[in-house]
Amino acid sequence: MSEELHGIFIDVEVDDAIAADADLAAKLAEVCPVDIFSADGGRVGIVTENLDECVLCNLCVDAAPAGTIRIVKLYE
């Protein structure tokens, strides 16, 4: 199971395996240059209104265990 959160152009999929990892949540909130991740309550949160600001830098993907975060482009 994974949580899907939709922007108009970008979805970020966060695997349940990391959803409650407070350290990783803090790290993700720090690395994303456009503040798509929040660490409120020690959970990996997505700031949906910022989703479409994603610059596809992959810093979040590289910061998380392999395969646990996916950035999905909804456009070509």
Residues that bind ligand SF4 (CB under 6 A): 12, 31-34, 36, 54-60, 71
CB of 12 to ligand SF4, least distance (A): 6
- Is residue 27 within 8 A of residue 33, CB to CB? The reply is no
CB nearer to ligand SF4: give 19 or 71: 71
CA–CA separation, 55 and 59 (whole Å): 10
CA–CA separation, 42 and 54 (whole Å): 22
CB nearer to ligand SF4: give 48 or 58: 58
**Helix (H, G, I), strand (E, B), or coil: what is residue 29?**
helix
CB nearer to ligand SF4: give 16 or 28: 28
